[in-house]
Chains A and B, each alone.
Chain A
């Protein structure tokens, strides 16, 4: 008797697609109806994935589900199978959570745009495709989902087609995205030609039998798949389109891009490297992934320091944070994978939150250029606090969540450095990247929220509650995952890491017990990841101390003399002692804008920055050349070393 939960992976995906079609049919005229339909689909899918997550991650089951009940015949998988282990469930959770919160945010945020029915259709198509991608057990099905995802992304990028650069960004995304899909498809075709199956579990067993070393067809397929998923995860050198796309898309969609679309790329890389081709035991493959990750980290963050558009800056930080994830996953150790997955989750939370903040600022002021902002903290106090939480999280300040995952990643990299000096270098780069991240968010804080307020912002108001609610939810999750790292690791991360590390179990559950032994000749062994120590950071102690000092300080602040001057509403003249002076005259504006900060740093790296800006030429031909060049390098490197 099948547990009813086992139907949910398929249903959760279908309900999103169904929602997309219903919105197209019925939602054209009636605004309330289409929002209701979209939110119903997103909620249903979120609830179902929650059930699946409990069934899979907490109770330790693995769901195998053959669509149309096409079970394997004579050990050959002919139908499409879904296999949901803890890794799939983990990513599915991220996808549906992002979808759900973004849906809430969209209601108000998108209310001023025309074409809401198109928006919700595409939004549900995108969510459904990414969810399908992370839940499927069939590699061709995965490709189909990638195609839907890419085209939904292109359309959503160009959604505000009246705004400058949106169509251009959509076109760039189309070119590079198609290139990625082509690579993936070619890789899959090569695998199919070799193994005559598309089921991932069966592929994995068969590839383990022949082995990848020295088999140049397999190596070519592997390189193509890495490139394909690398493009989807926007790692350097495939990152160029990401900046344009994130900037042009509405903030609720940018959140989807960084929260789940590039996670889909990361998921694909994990599946390909750890499960299907089982190459992560090979040191040379580790070197490749770590190199890509390290370059992504550094290039992403230094480009971010140079930006003056709020969302473009966040886009480059996405690249940098994905660099952390790829580096951690590329280490091939249990601690590394744990750090990588934890960071992937945190990135979904804090980066989604940052995009929502950027969206809130845009909604309130109509601007995203940091050089034209200032003093919003007084007008939008809640957004400001939320933004600070997210900014501290991404900079890895304790006790927020970025700190925990970065810490695990540093430990994992540093442990590797006992083997090779290169990893020591990677550790240093990772730590410096974190400081530079802080620097660039200080710039945003100073130029958008603090600093001198602008007269044209006098009428700016805080964004409505339905936008603040999802932001607060994510902010609370950021703090929670930072304060209770042990809980999160035990309940969520460790099962997923175990799933990544036990390939044979994955194969046997899908294809029937004993299948691995029959094909590869070695019995399935239950590998449990070594105890993942995350150090002994107990933020609770810190909070106790913080509470005590805060109480003491409040006493002083309340009973001590303090004066605030006039309030916003009062018409009285302010007392001069409460004014901020600059050069003799009160209310003289300073000309120090966001781009002028960190001059001391940029001055010393002038040559580097000039070169980097030259590479980001904005010409899509160059970007395609980079992608194809990287593919060529991967193929040559892997052929040379494997």
Chain B
């Protein structure tokens, strides 16, 4: 029943350690490229790692108003959920827990948990800034949820052939047989929609209404310090990795090379590409939206794109 490889999967690759290293690196590269686009030198690539280590050594101040258990527990729950998603995503032929045949519903709900953990943690801190922040975070979750669901259903219909499927494995198999999903012309609107869902899911500029440093002082994180803040920052890096990986698994799959290490390298390269196009590029060129604009944008433009693919997929195109 118990397989010793599981521990390796959970702790090392593609679990906790890989998420930590790859996530901080991804964020470092993202910041470097972002700086170059603004003609700055930018921080060293290892800067997120230094930030994290520094925060772990700092004093943790728990505000008087806060509920201690929830305040400290929230970031950990978010991290665990993110790592779990990574374990369930197929990387070409390889999935850590492939025999579990995880499906998209699990992924959708697990993706809600990091957002919920920020919200609950922020709420537990008792600050009014956090109160404003969590309401905005929740609205942005509602915003991207509709297009995300529609994109996933479109892919499920496409990969399911005559029927429909929720299974990530079926989607990976379909791409191994028929080439990457993004090469199907009917799925291109869905891919565009998903590219726009990614930054909102991660919560990076211009969709960072919840954290908006210049308005509400990082919203839910305003009272956090020390190790819990460090874990929340880490969650942000890992979220960048995991959401890009979700895009890669859904749209950029394929046969792969058959060698796990090579596949993983290619997969990570794809994640970098997705990060560049969906986060760095948009971040460097757009100004922050207001919360009601975010909502409107996602439920009209992005959901519209996803709907096009959904209808096309339903007609078998």
Query: CB within 8 Å of B: which residues of A?
Result: 375, 377-378, 381, 384-385, 388, 392, 395-398, 403, 406-407, 410-411, 414-415, 417-418, 421, 424, 427-428, 431-432, 435-436, 438-439, 442-443, 445-446, 449-453, 535-538, 541-542, 544-546, 548-550, 553, 556-557, 560-566, 574, 577-582, 590, 592, 596-601, 603-604
Tell me if B62 and A565 are in contact (CB < 8 A): yes
Q: How near does chain A come to B1, taking the closest CB pair, in angstroms?
A: 10
Tell me if B164 and A561 are in contact (CB < 8 A): no
Say if the beta carbon of B79 comes within 8 Å of chain A: yes
A541 and B97 in contact, given A450-B123, A604-B296 (Cβ under 8 angstroms)? yes
* Distance, CA A442 to CA B146, complexed state (A): 19
Q: How near does chain B come to A399, taking the closest CB pair, in angstroms?
A: 10
* Nearest B-chain residue to A402, judged by Cβ: B109
Q: How near does chain B come to A559, taking the closest CB pair, in angstroms?
A: 10
Q: Which of B223-255 contact A (CB under 8 A)?
A: 223, 226-227, 231
- Residues of B contacting A424 with CB < 8 Å? 153, 157, 310, 314
Tell me if B135 and A598 are in contact (CB < 8 A): yes
Tell me if B64 and A566 are in contact (CB < 8 A): yes
* Distance, CA A418 to CA B72, complexed state (A): 45
A548 and B131 in contact, given A436-B142, A450-B126 (Cβ under 8 angstroms)? no
Query: CB within 8 Å of A: which residues of B?
Result: 6, 10-11, 15-16, 56-65, 67-70, 72, 76-77, 79-80, 83-84, 87, 97, 99-103, 105-106, 108-110, 112-113, 116, 119-120, 123-129, 131-132, 134-136, 138-139, 141-142, 145-146, 149-150, 153, 156-157, 160, 162-164, 166, 209, 223, 226-227, 231, 290-292, 294-296, 299, 310, 314
* Distance, CA A576 to CA B83, complexed state (A): 37
- Residues of B contacting A398 with CB < 8 Å? 106, 109-110, 113
Q: How near does chain B come to A560, taking the closest CB pair, in angstroms?
A: 5
The 8 Å CB contact of A550, one of B60, B62, B76, is B76
Q: How near does chain B come to A445, taking the closest CB pair, in angstroms?
A: 6
A428 and B153 in contact, given A580-B63, A580-B126, A597-B135 (Cβ under 8 angstroms)? yes
- Residues of A contacting B15 with CB < 8 Å? 545
Tell me if B16 and A549 are in contact (CB < 8 A): yes
The 8 Å CB contact of A556, one of B6, B68, B223, B227, is B227
* Nearest B-chain residue to A536, judged by Cβ: B100
The 8 Å CB contact of A536, one of B102, B113, B134, is B102
* Nearest A-chain residue to B230, judged by Cβ: A556
* Nearest A-chain residue to B125, judged by Cβ: A580
A446 and B134 in contact, given A438-B116, A541-B97, A549-B79 (Cβ under 8 angstroms)? yes
* Nearest A-chain residue to B60, judged by Cβ: A562
- A397-B109, A410-B105, A421-B314 are known contacts; what are 11 more A-B pairs with Cβ within 8 Å? A410-B166, A414-B156, A418-B160, A442-B123, A536-B99, A537-B106, A541-B10, A553-B227, A560-B227, A562-B60, A565-B64
- Residues of B contacting A597 with CB < 8 Å? 131, 134-135, 138
* Distance, CA A381 to CA B136, complexed state (A): 26
* Distance, CA A258 to CA B113, complexed state (A): 27
The 8 Å CB contact of A598, one of B139, B160, B163, B290, is B139
| 24 residue pairs from A and B, CB less than 8 Å apart | A377-B67, A381-B69, A384-B70, A410-B105, A418-B164, A424-B153, A428-B146, A432-B145, A436-B142, A442-B123, A450-B67, A450-B126, A452-B65, A535-B106, A546-B80, A548-B10, A548-B11, A549-B80, A580-B64, A580-B128, A600-B290, A600-B292, A601-B139, A604-B295
Q: How near does chain A come to B162, taking the closest CB pair, in angstroms?
A: 7
* Nearest A-chain residue to B162, judged by Cβ: A418
Tell me if A563 and B127 are in contact (CB < 8 A): no
- Residues of B contacting A599 with CB < 8 Å? 135, 291-292
* Nearest A-chain residue to B59, judged by Cβ: A561
Tell me if A445 and B80 are in contact (CB < 8 A): no
* Distance, CA A443 to CA B113, complexed state (A): 16
